[in-house]
Amino acid sequence: MQTLLPFRWALLALVLLLAWDASPGDLWAMQAVGTPQGFAWREVWLTRGLIHEGGRWVSYAAMAFIVAVNLSPRLLPALTRRERTWWLVTTLVCLAVISLIKRVSLTSCPWDLAMFGGAAQYVSHWSFGVQDGGGGHCFPSGHASAAFAYLAGAWALARAYPRAARRWAVAVVVLGVVYGAGQMVRGAHYPSHTLWTGWICWAVTLLAARWRT
């Protein structure tokens, strides 16, 4: 998997992501799905019930599976103990990094903005220490990490189960995009919040894979 997702691609993605941050893309995207009265998709079952709440349960199930793989050698027997442990630890580190950044972030969610019926003013998440008048703690997307934090499975499975590794990677990316889109139309996150979650989890996994070798 390292040959498929090398550091140079991660660096290119970083440049593109920074370019997005420098553009008005976040606000344009939110204005396309929100109104001064708020976001019509905020409480819809599809976005809140299925994608948001259901996504949490998918994440719990994935974590339970990874823990089970570590506890029982009969599950995925071709994996080494090192691969199993690395998979679990790297996933937990990804989840922890996103959670830590959110905890210290002063960036509020789009639905908190005055232009969408809230009280906050838009402030870039790069404006460190600047409060926007909202609740904060919204950057990056925690819900997207319920998918992207599990990228390590593609590396852990690659040696012994290459087909499963590819399927795992595709599932993680697809779910991450779906979770991000669902949260965007609800007004919970800007597109950049999801993109940064994906990039951070990718970068952490790449570094962990390099350290493992």
Q: Domain extents for the chain?
A: 41-105+140-212
**What is the arithmetic mean of pLDDT over 113-120?**
96
Average of pLDDT values for 76-93?
A: 97
Of the candidates 195, 189, 191, 177, the one whose C-alpha atom is nearest the C-alpha of residue 25 is: 191
Joined together, the tokens standing for residue 173 give 């990316």
7 confidence band (pLDDT: 50, 70, 90) = confident
Banded pLDDT at 213 (limits 50, 70, 90): low
Q: What is the pLDDT of residue 212?
A: 74
Q: Binning pLDDT at 50, 70 and 90, where does residue 3 land?
A: very low
Where are the alpha helices (H) located in 118-190, listed in sequence order?
Answer: 145-148, 152-158, 162-186
Residues 6 or more apart in contact with residue 7 via CB below 8 angstroms? 206, 210
* Average confidence score pLDDT of the chain: 95
What Rg value do the Cα atoms of the chain yield, rounded?
18
Dump pLDDT digits (tens) for 167-209.
999 999 999 999 999 999 999 999 999 999 999 999 999 999 9
DSSP-derived secondary structure for 194-205 = HHHHHHHHHHHH
pLDDT reading at 116 higher than 80: yes
Q: Is the pLDDT of residue 102 over 80?
A: yes
Compute the distance between CA of residue 35 and CA of residue 169 in angstroms, rounded to an integer: 35
